[in-house]
Amino acid sequence: MSTTPTTTRQWLLTRQPTGAPILSGPSATFSLVTAELPPLQDGQVLCRVRYISNDPGQRGFIGIGVADERMYVPPVHVGTPMRAGVIADVLASRAPSLQPGQTVMNLHLGLWSEYVVLAAADCQPLAPLPGGLPVTHFLGALGAPGLTAYYGLVEVLQAGSQHNTLVVSAAAGATGSMVVQIAKKLLGVKRVVGIAGGPAKCAWVRDRLGADACVDYKSASFADDLAAATDGFVDLYFDNIGGAILDAVLPRMQRGGTIAVCGAVSTYNDAEPMGLRHWMEIVSMRLQLKGFVLLDWMDQIPRAIGELVTAVVEGKIVLGEEHETVIETGIEGVPEAWMKLFEGANRGKLITKLV
Amino acid sequence: MSTTPTTTRQWLLTRQPTGAPILSGPSATFSLVTAELPPLQDGQVLCRVRYISNDPGQRGFIGIGVADERMYVPPVHVGTPMRAGVIADVLASRAPSLQPGQTVMNLHLGLWSEYVVLAAADCQPLAPLPGGLPVTHFLGALGAPGLTAYYGLVEVLQAGSQHNTLVVSAAAGATGSMVVQIAKKLLGVKRVVGIAGGPAKCAWVRDRLGADACVDYKSASFADDLAAATDGFVDLYFDNIGGAILDAVLPRMQRGGTIAVCGAVSTYNDAEPMGLRHWMEIVSMRLQLKGFVLLDWMDQIPRAIGELVTAVVEGKIVLGEEHETVIETGIEGVPEAWMKLFEGANRGKLITKLV
């Protein structure tokens, strides 16, 4: 057993970016420092970070045009460590509930750090998943992204077999890939159409996740392909992307259709306003748009996780290694790994494994 | 009594504009022609047009980025006369229900024309209004704009005394001026804040219509003024404007607030996409946006008109000459008068009186 560390390398927010975060140079958004670890207080644990969750929502911690007090989570202030969901091993504990050697998850208050001191109350001990599934799925399909898919469909869109066609953007992403499966296999939506970037992702969404069609937004024929895949028009749109893809879907919406506004990852690094040519479709087709945040169902989450795990065990929902993109890196590579989210580089959940 | 005319001057759509309609020159959007009047068929009336209704929605007839088959009304095709709501005098009738000398309204199928042949079934004979109010109010406060205000508030926003603050844009316009009055005086919304252009309009919205505040969007201090007027934040926003003003209101919305999307007049003549910097407020504040079209309540409209007339007679709603901006012109000036809508030139309903 190694000596308990007293310092850690960690990434601080240096300045709020106005467009894309900058990885290096004098204007860098983040900086890597070595910091003293605070002495453990009662109720706290010292942990070694094993996995870091990469989420588009983290871009909101450092500014996306919404004032701090109006964001659904507190911001990361300049000069403080960047926050992230993490899976970590307990090295030392002053909390009776957790012992050294246990693996825990902290979805809100982990840091881009090698070691971190956390309140035990904020940490969830991770039991092994059935079927030998890795616990990292608790950051993805069985964690916040999967639950966002679940509540967006069940509560916001109230999706079911009465709906003819649902479209979801970022369909190969952590949330979108679960939207496809839950809508099609658990809720019985008649036709599910994904939108994803590139033929390989589209094939995966179709052949492995079970979408009826998946349209490649990088293709020159995107608009025509989307029209062909949504013949009869769209009742429900689960929007993870915003921007040009939202604008392309608006003229495909059915009269009275509903759009769940989950995020707008295509725009977070864009200093320009989101541009919509087809706004008047909202009026002419009597559309409803509904913003939502997973936090609003926090008290019901254990039940939903149970439902998803059962669906996996029963083989209704496919879940495996292919649903994660894991980047192994030292602490130096953490911001760069996170930025791959915005390049559309990942299939399923993008996870950083600290080595 | 003059001879029954056999020809008429009228405006045809020459070409669909991509940005602002062009009034003259080789690229003109409309052209004035002299056309033969078709011989009267059974069930038709020949009318002389007295008043033409000017509506932002007419911009949609000639293209606003929504495909023809997805608009809530049919388009005007190139080479055919421009449509408008009209009030007209019957000159000749082959319909038992209408006699020469009667005054009728046709809200959908009138034309930019001196004379017009209409189906009697589409024409509503106009009875005198109580209190000596001119019948032109049936084009404004007691017509489509007033009814749009009514159903947008009652059905879409379900506005009532449970709501602390409602904001309405284009508050001095035909629809907005009725939104202010109905929300404040009939439905009991606690605080009603208008947005209008210039101090004179703002004073009218406040002092005559009864808004608690009215913010001038042309003022350099607009953002600060809006923030000051919406302290405590906004439950309901009635959006007639879209664009930059919508973008300014988004950060003032209360968590869980609702936006009625009635139109986007600020953008109809703009070839650029609508730009929104504050889209993510929809997510972070769990906002709902609801598009709507008055046509969906067509069967209930007589009851609503009755309710509005009663409110005027009882003095609950103020209605007078000041609620109309009347432009007197020959047929030559009709397109130019209509274009004043987009300059924000009118207070209340903008009406063209043919002389």
ipTM of the complex: 0.95
Whether B273 and B165 share a structural domain: yes
Q: Is A288 on the interface with B (CB under 8 A)?
A: yes
Chain A CB contacts of B278 under 8 Å are 65-66
Instruction: For residue B136, name the pLDDT band (cuts at 50, 70, 90).
Output: very high
Contact B288 A292 (CB under 8 A): no
How big is the CA angle at B263 (ends A164 and B169), to the nearest 5 degrees? Answer: 135
CATH number, residue A22:
3.90.180.10
What count of CB pairs under 8 Å joins A to B? 124
The whole-angstrom separation of Cα B69 and Cα B74 is: 7
Please work out, in degrees rounded to the nearest 5, the angle formed at the alpha carbon of residue A237 by the alpha carbons of A194 and A108: 85
B152 and B132 fall within a common domain: no
Contact status, residue A195 vs residue A267, Cβ threshold 8 Å: no
Chain B residues with CB inside 8 Å of A71's CB?
Answer: 284
In B, minimum Cα distance to A271 occurs at B277
Going by C-alpha positions, the residue among B55, B270, B97 that lies closest to residue A276 is: B270
In a domain, B302, yes or no: no
How confident is the model at residue B72, as a pLDDT? Answer: 87
Q: Find the domain containing A93 and state its range.
A: 7-141+321-354
Nearest by CB to residue A278, choosing from B65, B251, B293, is B65
Closest Cβ opposite residue A70 in set B70, B251, B292 = B251
Question: Nearest-5° angle of CA B177, CA B183, CA B188?
Answer: 150
| Domain contains B316 | no
Distance from CA of B90 to the nearest CA of A (A): 33
Q: Which residues pair with B215 in a beta bridge?
A: B195
Residue B129's pLDDT band (cuts 50, 70, 90)? confident
- Residues whose CB is less than 8 angstroms from the CB of residue A2 and which lie 6 or more positions away in sequence, other chains included: none
Q: Do A288 and B293 touch (CB under 8 A)?
A: no
From residue B250, alpha-carbon distances to A68, A81, B149 in Å are 15, 30, 20
Are B171 and B264 part of one and the same domain?
Answer: yes
Q: Find chain B residues with C-beta within 8 A of A285's C-beta.
A: 70, 291
- Alpha-carbon dihedral sign for residues A211, A235, B167, A270: positive
Cβ-nearest to B284 among A66, A278, A280: A66
CA gap A288, A282 in Å, rounded: 7
pLDDT digits (tens, 9 = 90+) for B287-310: 999 999 999 998 898 899 999 999
Q: What is the reported pLDDT for B1?
A: 47
Residue B87 token pair: 């009030």
b vs e for B136-170, b when ≥16 Cβ sit within 10 Å of the residue's Cβ? Answer: bbbbbbbbbbbbbbbbbbbebbebeeebebbbbbb
Q: Is residue A303 one of the residues assigned to a domain?
A: no
Q: B113 and B42, same structural domain?
A: yes
Q: What is the mean pLDDT of each run of 10 residues along chain A (355 residues)?
A: 85 94 94 97 98 95 89 93 97 97 93 98 90 92 96 98 98 98 98 98 98 98 97 96 97 98 92 94 97 94 92 94 95 97 92 96
> A299 CB near a chain B CB, below 8 Å?
no
**Whether the Cβ atoms of residue B27 and residue B231 lie closer than 8 Å to each other:** no
Q: How far is CA A338 from CA A11, A22, A59, A212, B334, in A?
A: 12, 12, 10, 31, 58
Q: Answer yes or no: is B305 within a domain.
A: no
Q: Do B251 and A280 touch (CB under 8 A)?
A: no
Residue among B70, B274, B278 whose CB faces A279 most closely: B274
- State how far residue B73 is from chain A, nearest Cα, in angstroms: 9
Mean pLDDT of chain B: 95
Is the CA virtual torsion A214, A218, A223, A228 positive or negative? Answer: negative
The two three-digit tokens of residue A38, written as one number: 């605070």
Q: Does A242 touch chain B (CB under 8 A)?
A: yes
Residue to mutate among A283, A295, A296, with most B CBs inside 10 A, is A283
Contact A153/A183 with Cβ under 8 angstroms? Answer: yes
Chain A residues touching B152 at Cβ < 8 A: none
Inter-chain residue contact B275 with A275, CB threshold 8 Å: yes
Whether A307 maps to a domain, the answer reads no
Do A155 and A120 sit in the same domain of this protein? no
Q: Are residues B15 and B132 in the same domain?
A: yes
Contact assignment for A273 to B272 by CB distance below 8 Å = no
Q: Would an 8 Å CB–CB cutoff place B272 in contact with chain A?
A: yes
Q: Residue B235 to residues B164, B195, B226, B257, B287: CA-CA distances in angstroms? A: 7, 16, 14, 5, 10
Segment 61-120 of chain A within 8 Å of chain B by CB: 64-67, 70-72
Query: Can you name the residues that pair with B115 across neighbouring β-strands?
Result: B48
A127 lies in the same domain as A208: no
From chain A, the residues in CB contact with B64 under 8 A are 280
Cα–Cα distance measured from residue B185 to residue B181, given in angstroms and rounded to the nearest whole number: 6
Which of B231, B265, B279 has the most A C-beta neighbours within 10 Å, making it the best mutation to test the interface with A? B279
Whether B135 and B254 share a structural domain = no
Secondary structure letter of residue A113 according to DSSP: B
B30: Cβ contacts below 8 Å, ≥ 6 apart? B11, B12, B13, B14, B21, B23, B82, B112, B335
Domains contained in chain A, number: 2
CA distance B347 to chain A (A): 24
Q: Which residue is it, tokens 């309903």?
A: B349
Chain A positions in Cβ-Cβ contact with residue B71 (cut-off 8 Å): 284
In angstroms, the Cα distances linking B254 to A72, A294, B296, B351 are 13, 18, 28, 36
Q: Is the model more confident about A162 or about B69?
A: A162
Task: Tell me which residue in A264, A276, A284 faces B274 most closely, judged by beta carbons.
Answer: A276
- Is the same domain home to A186 and A114? no
Quickly list H helices, chain A: 58-61, 144-151, 174-181, 199-207, 222-229, 243-249, 280-284, 301-313, 334-339
| H or E, element range at A237 | strand A234-239
Asked if residue B315 is part of any domain, the answer here is: no
Q: pTM here?
A: 0.95
Is the domain of A226 the same as that of A127? no
Query: Closest partner residue to A276 among B66, B276, B290, by Cβ?
Result: B276
Asked if the structure places residue A195 within a domain, the reply is: yes
Minimal CA–CA distance to B32: which of B346, B329, B345, B254? B329
Residue keyed to tokens 């489509």: B144
Tell me whether residues A64 and B287 touch, CB distance under 8 A. no
Q: Are residues B151 and B291 in the same domain?
A: yes
Q: Are A271 and A161 members of one domain?
A: yes
- B162 is a domain residue: yes
Please tell me the distance from the alpha carbon of residue B162 to that of residue B236, in angstroms, as a whole number. 11
Question: Which residues of chain B neighbour A280 with C-beta distances below 8 Å?
Answer: 60, 64-66, 263-264
Q: Where are the beta strands (DSSP E) in chain B?
A: 7-13, 30-36, 44-53, 83-93, 103-111, 115-119, 124-125, 165-169, 191-196, 213-216, 234-239, 253-261, 274-276, 288-291, 324-329, 349-354
The CATH number covering residue B192 comes to 3.40.50.720
Name the residue among B66, B262, B286 with its Cβ closest to that of A292. B286
- What pLDDT does A1 receive? 47
The reply to whether residue B261 touches residue A282, judged by beta carbons under 8 angstroms, is: yes
Nearest CB to B263: which of A247, A251, A283?
Answer: A283
Q: Of B130, B113, B153, B138, which is closest to residue B258 (Cα–Cα)? A: B153
Q: Are B282 and B255 in contact (CB under 8 A)?
A: no
